[in-house]
């Protein structure tokens, strides 16, 4: 399984509209990617490991697909549209990473 993580570095004073991201942007991603998108998650950074410290990332969106090829074929045609939607929820420039999920445990 492949995971695309879109990470928004914590930036003091920068706004991130979680309601829009969760309720509009991610459903748009789901609609555009179709069946290639197996699941997604949205994370809200609370802190670093030190109590009261700032998180490394204000937000992280994760997209799960069967393969890199499936990911790229599904998101590629819509990358410009999805990137243009960023102005609707933040000014933070995201960092992206494609990873292979080599282990996962769920209770």
- 103 within domain boundaries: no
Q: Which range marks the domain in which residue 85 is found?
A: 2-46+55-96
pLDDT given for residue 51 in this prediction: 87
Q: By the 8 A CB rule, do 100 and 2 touch?
A: yes
Could you tell me which residues come within 8 angstroms of residue 95 by beta carbon, excluding any fewer than 6 positions away? Answer: 6, 7, 8, 9
- 26 within domain boundaries: yes
Q: How far apart are CA 74 and CA 98, in angstroms?
A: 14
Domain count across the chain: 1
Classify residue 27 as exposed, middle or buried by CB count within 10 Å of its CB (0-12, 13-18, 19+): exposed
pTM for the model:
0.94
- 101 within domain boundaries: no
pLDDT given for residue 106 in this prediction: 87
Instruction: For the chain, 107 residues long, give each residue's pLDDT as a single digit of tens.
Output: 999 999 999 999 999 999 999 999 999 999 999 999 999 999 999 999 998 899 999 999 999 999 999 999 999 999 999 999 999 999 999 999 999 999 999 89
- 71 within domain boundaries: yes
Q: Which CATH number does the domain housing residue 78 bear?
A: 3.30.70.100
């Amino acid at each position: 399984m492949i995971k695309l993580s879109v990470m928004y570095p914590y930036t003091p004073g920068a706004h991130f509209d979680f309601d829009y991201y969760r309720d509009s942007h991610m459903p748009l991603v789901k609609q555009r990617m179709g069946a290639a998108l197996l699941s997604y998650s949205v994370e809200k950074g609370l802190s670093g490991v030190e109590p009261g410290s700032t998180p490394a990332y204000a937000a992280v969106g994760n997209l799960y697909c069967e393969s890199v090829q499936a990911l790229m074929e599904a998101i590629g045609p819509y990358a410009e549209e999805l990137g243009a939607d960023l102005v609707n929820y933040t000014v933070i420039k995201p960092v992206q990473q494609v990873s292979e999920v080599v282990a996962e445990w769920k209770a």
